[in-house]
Amino acid sequence: MAGASLVSSSSCSSNVSLIPTRPQVFLNFRGKELRKGFISFLVPALKDNNINVFIDDQEERGKYLTSLFDRIGESKIALVIFSEDYTESKWCLDELVQIKECMDQNKLRVIPIFYKLDPAVVKRLQGKFGDQFRDLEYRYKHKPERPQKWKEAVISVCQTFALFLPEHSDTSDKDFIMLIVKEVGKVLPEGGLSVSASQQSLTMSEAQNEEAVEIYRPNNMTENFQNRNQLPGLSYEFKFLVLGRPKGNTFMIGARGLSITWSEDSNYWTWLTLPNQNPFESVVEIAYLRKASWLDVEGKFDTRYLSPSTRYEVVFVVLLQYTKFKWKKPVKLKMVLPNSREQPQERRMSMACHITNQWIDILVGEFTTSVTNIGEISFAMYEHECQLWKSGLFVKGVTIRPKY
């Protein structure tokens, strides 16, 4: 949990001037053992990376709750650390309600951390975590609105992309803390760990074992690819990852490179940061559909980047979680080839049978590169039944890959 600023032994060093005076990270947690162990290492690790941390050292905090709410409102990030003892504390849950409100207003980025506790146990209020919650719920049965807000806050925060350390994981607390610090640094503008594509020059460097190539291209930039001077200058901004394969290159266009209707309105979509799955990737952002009745995700790509005379398939990479909003209508998928006299490829897919905790590929269409389809292809996933709400969809991007 959070409150007064924690001053470490290094606070008198020359590095202290690099730490902003405003709060940046608010820690929300419960448990003396957690405070003496995991938290005692996490806080110095954050501060060593010039990240300001606010943590409360008071056990009984009722009269301090208003000031703590102010700290939450001033912060840029809240780390909500769910552990088995979390629901012992009504103050933790009250903080969580305030965190949710700030998150809903797009004033705060929240990173849930499941510390040696299965996320499903938290979401479903199971085990000791759930039993303690129900004990508090019973104690406040004369004020049912307060436990209801607690429950809504737990469920809402769990919807955001989280970091998870299993109880019997081979990952050490130290390595897990380094991952947390890295993710926090990506979100904070002061961290300087991520640079937008529009600020970078075009680069194409072969990675170790020639497994991957990252390409950044800003708007209206003239291309300068080695041995590919004929490639066009693209009018849209995107980032994609090129993976070498025996039958041709595979291109991954991130969610930020797609056009997603209402994606910048936090009432409908939330942008989340994925831990890097590939050592050659930089920041991986995904789009999460919170609630909308209109789904429209589109993208474009020039076939001149593809290997010649190769059969390709275009797929959306998504993950769909269970929510109270049912996907009653199938999504529609459409692909239009350049300079083609063929009809657009169109198909439908039911999403209801793809609710899972795994990333899946949704096929849009297939084509073979040739001199007749040189140019820009377009692809889309949409569903415009305006009376039907949809939620729980994570969009990672679009993959264009050789078909085997």
Which residues are designated catalytic? 95
Two structure tokens written together for 248: 């041709």
Q: Which residues pair with 239 in a beta bridge?
A: 216
Give the CB-side neighbour count of residue 154, counting CA atoms within 13 A: 26
Q: Quick check: 61 and 3 in contact, CB under 8 A?
A: yes
- What are the structure tokens assigned to 355, written together? 């609710």
Q: Which residues contact 10 (CB under 8 A, 6 or more apart)?
A: 16, 44, 47, 48
If DSSP codes are grouped into helix, strand and coil, which group holds residue 328?
A: coil
Question: Would you call 205 exposed, middle or buried from its count of C-beta atoms within 10 A (0-12, 13-18, 19+)?
Answer: exposed
Using CA atoms in the order 75, 150, 104, 321, what is the torsion angle rounded to 10 degrees? 120
Q: Residue 271 is which amino acid?
A: W
- The whole-angstrom separation of Cα 197 and Cα 221 is 11
Nearest to 333 by CA among 312, 350, 355: 350
| Reduced 3-state DSSP string for 76-144 | CEEEEEECCCHHHCHHHHHHHHHHHHHHHCCCCEEEEEEECCCHHHHHCCCHHHHHHHHHHHHHCCCCC
Query: In Å, what is the CA distance from 355 to each residue of 114, 198, 242, 361, 387?
Result: 22, 35, 29, 13, 21
- The whole-angstrom separation of Cα 295 and Cα 390 is 8
Q: Whose CA is closest to 94, among 147, 155, 133?
A: 147
